[in-house]
Amino acid sequence: MTSAVTGTALHVRAVVLPDGEPHDVYVVEDRLTFDRPTYLDIEALGSGGFMLPGLVDAHCHVGLAAEGGMPIDVAREQAVTDRDTGALLLRDAGVPQTYYEFDDDPELPRIIHAGQHLARTKRYLRNYGIELEPEELPGAAEEQARRPGGHGAPWVKFVGDWIDRDLGDLAPCWPDDVLKEAVARAHAAGARVAVHVFGEEALPGLIAAGVDSIEHGTGITPDLISDVAAAGAAVVPTVINIGNFDKFADQATRYPVYAARMRRLKQSAAQRLRDVFDAGIPLYVGTDAGGQLPHGIVVEEMLAMRDAGLPALDVLAAGSWKAREWLGLPGLVEGAPADFVVYDDDPRADISVLRNPRRIVVRGNVVR
């Protein structure tokens, strides 16, 4: 690994995206400048190609395995795997233990934290989150909101629906009045709220409560789209994970109604995603890596969104500069964090180019 150290500036000349113009870009410690720093020695990193702000995985879980939490060294390997595919900003959408040590690690992606999942008692995956009764949710939301956010404002993660074994189907986890209070208290503490939701029934209460992002969102029907748009919520569709809904259904032999629901949600997911896009609702790239899925699949998630019918250029923005802006970090502008990837070919013409980065620079350090 090469570091941008005091006395040396790294230099790259490339077409800078999204503006599409060639620029000389310099890395001074962990920041970008377009003005040549005459007081420093210059180390050339190469010329030509296309420079993109670091990719963004807006829904992943650094420190989570199928059975729950994991040791810090394994969690670090997950973050490195993401980094090596060009994902240099991660929103960690809920983990049993937040490794704040990663915030100062010069070799790792920047991570925005969401603390632990807040789930209804016995209505979520074991060992993943904090299990609560409804009256406990507002206080827990405020407590999670006051935790450090890492490289951005903190988030709080609710589990909005899950299988109710008494009903044998997906069902909302929280009363509407509890949701409103919980979201309000999280917002008052300076956090934003992300919510896991697969089905249709929980969405009206979540939207009315003012959640900031809808994760998965397979239950967004045409009659709910205007409400989502009016509320200003974003959607992170986790398309690869939705592809596993048939497997979830196969595992639920005791709950045939739930199994049938999951199959229907998978079948309607692509059309509902296109409807959300057509309505102008912000969409961002998230893999749901950790737990059931491997890390390092952000490019495959972007390709899956394209294959579901979204325009490739919009997917590129949703996984890079627009996602960074949404999460509070700038793209490739003067004084921005030195997090970027250089490709030989133009990803605007073919986003599969993202599979083959030439250079990866994170926090001003060259890792490839």
- As a whole number of angstroms, the distance between CA 41 and CA 37 comes to 8
The tens digit of pLDDT for each residue in 241-272 reads 999 999 999 999 999 999 999 999 999 999 99
pLDDT at 277 over 70: yes
pLDDT at 235 over 90: yes
Is 316 in contact with 353 (CB distance < 8 Å)? no
Helix, strand, coil percentages in the chain from 3-state DSSP, rounded to 5: 35, 30, 35
pLDDT at 1 over 60: no
Provide the CB-side half-sphere exposure for 280 (13 A, CA): 6
**265 DSSP 8-state letter:** H
- As a whole number of angstroms, the distance between CA 37 and CA 116 comes to 43
- As a whole number of angstroms, the distance between CA 178 and CA 138 comes to 7
**7 confidence band (pLDDT: 50, 70, 90):** confident
CA 317 to chain centre: 13
**230 confidence band (pLDDT: 50, 70, 90):** very high
The tens digit of pLDDT for each residue in 35-66 reads 999 999 999 998 999 999 999 999 999 999 99
Report, as an integer, the average pLDDT of 98-108: 97
Among 324, 368, 329, 321, residue whose Cα is nearest residue 348? 321
> Which domains are seen in the chain, by residue range?
2-53+330-366 (2.30.40.10), 55-322 (3.20.20.140)
> Is the peptide bond preceding residue 294 cis, with omega within 30 degrees of 0?
no
Cα end-to-end span (Å), the chain: 8
pLDDT at 6 over 80: no
Is 253 in contact with 200 (CB distance < 8 Å)? no
pLDDT at 4 over 60: no
The tens digit of pLDDT for each residue in 157-208 reads 999 999 999 999 999 999 999 999 999 999 999 999 999 999 999 999 999 9
The tens digit of pLDDT for each residue in 279-335 reads 999 999 999 999 889 999 999 999 999 999 999 999 999 999 999 999 999 999 999
pLDDT at 231 over 80: yes
**21 confidence band (pLDDT: 50, 70, 90):** very high
pLDDT at 33 over 80: yes
- As a whole number of angstroms, the distance between CA 86 and CA 63 comes to 19
